[in-house]
Every structure is written in C-alpha cells, then in structure tokens.
Amino acid sequence: MAGMEALDQHSGLKRIASSSSVASMVLSNYGSIYSNVWKALQLLSADPSPLVTDVARKLISRVKQKVSARH
C-alpha cells in the first residue's frame, strides 16, 4: 500500500503505519500477552493520528478505572 510509507502532508515526515510497528513489537517480545497489549496501547496513545490516540487513551483510562475499582 503506497499510503503506508507516504510523506505526512502536514509535517513532511515519513510515517509508517502504526499497525505494522505494533505487530512487530508484540511478536518480538516474550512477556505475557497482557503486558504486550498494554505496551501496544501505550505506543498507540502517542500515535500521530488523533483518532488512534483518542481511542488508545480512552482504553487506557478505562483499564485504570477498572483496576482502581478492584483495590
């Protein structure tokens, strides 16, 4: 897909699709699946796409709420 490594129109920086970098990060680590999912969410919370960032931050917030409710 040509758009995956296209120049970002606003910044002029080369951008690689988030899904490919997240997938390689998850496959390369040997920790638990939950740890890998958490790391992936943290990476996505800093994604250049505002929509991806927003969804990841909402998920992180919801998980933190659930954890704090149990303690």
| Residue 34 to residue 64: CA distance in whole angstroms | 14
Domain range spanning residue 51? 2-70
CA contacts within 13 A on the Cβ side of 22 = 18
Q: How many domains does the chain have?
A: 1
Question: Helix/strand/coil (H, E, C) string of the chain?
Answer: CHHHHCECCCCCCECCCHHHHHHHHHHHCCCCHHHHHHHHHHHHCCCCCHHHHHHHHHHHHHHHHHHHHHC
pLDDT digits (tens, 9 = 90+) for 15-62: 555 555 665 665 555 568 888 889 999 999 999 999 999 999 999 999
pTM: 0.55
